[in-house]
């Protein structure tokens, strides 16, 4: 068997496969046996007619046709093995030439796509470490306190003042038209508002000051230009508000807060803790933003060669993943598709751009992991296993440890690598990454492995 391969764009590999004579003959023999089993040839019981009789009776072309599928499949499999090709999708049969020897055919197979990374180490994302401002800190502390608010009915009815919790029926109108639609005759739903200047639309706050229980007021307020609802931006909206209930909001004293949070620490320590948590969340958020921005640039600059088959497969995977998510809400994928009036193929098509994007990111990252020689050593994986085990309840730890360190070890390992990768990407994006391993290639390879384990 002779195989010649040729690279085509989009990571397709074209294989020209030429079959040996014996191979073809064998295939024809098998085909003849099949035909004689299937059809009646006068003078013979089914399956008993010898090859030459079958060939005479049906003619050689028929025999070849019968044999070709089988032959192509077999030869294709052998060719893949011979050429050590690892296909990533379904092969496509282009041409078959079986009418005269030498018998040959041509298939195209999608193979692992090649990814040409740009100088990914040169990509920078502007990074300005954000500090925790006093305003942010105060807000965090306030919201901690806010969580422990106690509502109490005032002893006697009184007009609303700042800091009250109001239960109101609120309707809003733009140019006399109601903004919200609701069923005919239904009651205006009640909403809770807190009468604080920063927590209500300016205008509405002033308008509500002094409102008495049962009173209905009409208030017109000018919407800010950055309001969420585009229709009302920079417009005057009138509200019709009826106060149903008024409650005092009793906020805990600051020194009561640690006890309420069920922590045996002083207020200062709680403040410190809040500040640290805030700093941590600011940092991780910013890190994520930076990495996302970096990835966007990376994907834009990387050259890909992705076979369509792979994208389709990814889109399919994506769809099924969605399906699993839906199942948690008790809907099957099929029901969902039916509801949207889509066929399975439509849905896959729709997901293709997203799938391509995801695939591109994955491929680029895989390439970077390779280039940066990021690995997870056994010790690191063990450490990660222990960390995860720590999050389980005591009585489940044994089982979790067992599961994680055996069946799921590879998953844990990849999460370790993933963590390292994020760290490295962040370093690259902000320009503080250590030398790339490729630069230090002069060192023996053993040293890099050691480095990885010592980290």
The binding site for another protein (CB under 8 A) comprises: 43-45, 48-50, 52-53, 55-56
Nearest distance from C-beta of residue 53 to another protein, angstroms: 7
Nearest distance from C-beta of residue 335 to another protein, angstroms: 58
Nearest distance from C-beta of residue 38 to another protein, angstroms: 17
CA atoms within 13 Å, Cβ hemisphere of 296: 7
- Of the candidates 432, 118, 125, the residue with the CA atom closest to the CA atom of residue 292: 125
Percent helix / strand / coil, the chain, rounded to 5: 50, 15, 30
Nearest distance from C-beta of residue 106 to another protein, angstroms: 29
Q: From start to end of 303-428, where are the E strands?
A: 303-304
Q: H helices of 131-200, where? A: 134-146
Token couple for 416: 């370790």
Nearest distance from C-beta of residue 55 to another protein, angstroms: 7
Q: H helices of 84-170, where? A: 134-146
Using CA atoms, how far apart are residues 394 and 413, in angstroms rounded to an integer?
23
Nearer CB in complex with another protein: 55/305:
55
Using CA atoms, how far apart are residues 53 and 47, in angstroms rounded to an integer?
11
Nearer CB in complex with another protein: 56/281:
56
Q: Is 203 helix (H, G, I), strand (E, B) or coil?
A: coil
Using CA atoms, how far apart are residues 293 and 64, in angstroms rounded to an integer?
58
Residue with tokens 């969420």: 228
Nearest distance from C-beta of residue 52 to another protein, angstroms: 6
Nearer CB in complex with another protein: 45/84:
45
Nearer CB in complex with another protein: 60/283:
60
Nearer CB in complex with another protein: 49/107:
49
Nearer CB in complex with another protein: 39/254:
39
Nearer CB in complex with another protein: 76/103:
103
Nearer CB in complex with another protein: 58/105:
58
Query: CA 258, 262, 267 angle in degrees (round to 5)?
Result: 10
Nearer CB in complex with another protein: 63/211:
63
Q: Is 378 helix (H, G, I), strand (E, B) or coil?
A: helix
Nearest distance from C-beta of residue 40 to another protein, angstroms: 12
Using CA atoms, how far apart are residues 59 and 13, in angstroms rounded to an integer?
35
Nearest distance from C-beta of residue 56 to another protein, angstroms: 4
* Measured CA distances, 204 to 72, 397, 419 (Å): 77, 54, 48
Nearer CB in complex with another protein: 48/77:
48
Nearest distance from C-beta of residue 30 to another protein, angstroms: 19
Give 358's contacts (C-beta < 8 A, 6+ positions apart). 314, 318
Please check whether residue 109 is in contact with residue 85, taking contact to mean a CB–CB distance below 8 angstroms.
yes
Nearest distance from C-beta of residue 27 to another protein, angstroms: 18
Please check whether residue 121 is in contact with residue 436, taking contact to mean a CB–CB distance below 8 angstroms.
yes
- What 401-405 contacts at long range (C-beta under 8 Å, 24+ apart), as own/partner pairs, is 405/381
What are residue 243's phi and psi, to 5 degrees?
-85, 120
């Amino acid at each position: 068997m002779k195989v010649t391969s040729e690279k085509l764009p989009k990571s397709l590999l074209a294989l020209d496969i030429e079959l040996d004579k014996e191979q073809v003959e064998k295939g024809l023999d098998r085909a003849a046996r099949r035909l004689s089993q299937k059809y009646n040839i006068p003078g013979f019981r089914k399956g008993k007619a010898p090859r030459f009789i079958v060939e005479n009776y049906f003619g050689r072309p028929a025999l070849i046709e019968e044999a070709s599928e089988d032959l192509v499949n077999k030869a294709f499999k052998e060719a893949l093995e011979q050429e050590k090709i690892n296909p990533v999708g379904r092969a496509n049969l282009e041409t078959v030439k079986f009418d005269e020897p030498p018998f040959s055919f041509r298939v195209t197979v999608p193979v692992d796509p090649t990814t040409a990374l740009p100088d990914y180490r040169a990509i920078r994302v502007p990074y300005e470490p954000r500090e925790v401002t006093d305003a942010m800190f105060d807000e965090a502390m306030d919201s901690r306190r806010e969580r422990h608010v106690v509502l109490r009915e005032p002893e006697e009815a009184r007009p609303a003042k700042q800091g009250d919790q109001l239960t109101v029926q609120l309707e809003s109108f733009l140019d006399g038209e109601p903004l919200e639609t609701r069923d005919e005759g239904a009651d205006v739903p009640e909403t809770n508002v807190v009468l604080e200047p920063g927590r209500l639309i300016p205008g509405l706050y002033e308008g509500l000051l002094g409102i008495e229980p049962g009173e209905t007021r009409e208030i017109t307020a000018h919407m800010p230009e950055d309001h969420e609802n585009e229709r009302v931006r920079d417009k005057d909206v009138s509200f019709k508000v009826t106060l149903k209930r008024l409650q005092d909001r009793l906020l805990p004293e600051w020194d009561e807060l640690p006890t309420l949070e069920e922590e045996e620490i002083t207020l200062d320590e709680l403040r410190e803790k809040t500040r640290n948590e805030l700093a941590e969340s600011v940092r991780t958020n910013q890190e994520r933003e930076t990495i996302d921005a970096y990835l966007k640039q990376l994907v834009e600059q990387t050259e890909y060669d992705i076979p369509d088959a792979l994208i389709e497969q990814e889109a399919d995977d994506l769809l099924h993943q969605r399906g699993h998510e839906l199942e948690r809400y008790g809907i099957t994928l099929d029901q969902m598709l039916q509801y949207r009036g889509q066929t399975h193929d439509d849905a896959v098509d729709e997901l293709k751009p997203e799938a391509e994007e995801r695939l591109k990111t994955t491929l680029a990252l895989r390439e970077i992991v390779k280039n940066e020689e990021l690995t997870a050593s056994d010790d690191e994986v063990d450490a990660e296993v222990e960390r995860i085990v720590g999050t389980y309840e005591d009585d489940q730890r044994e089982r979790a440890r067992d599961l994680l360190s055996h069946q799921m070890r590879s998953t844990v390992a990849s999460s370790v690598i993933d963590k390292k990768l994020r760290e490295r990407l962040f370093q690259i994006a902000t320009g503080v990454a250590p030398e790339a391993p490729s630069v230090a290639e002069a060192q023996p390879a053993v040293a890099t492995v050691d480095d990885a384990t010592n980290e």
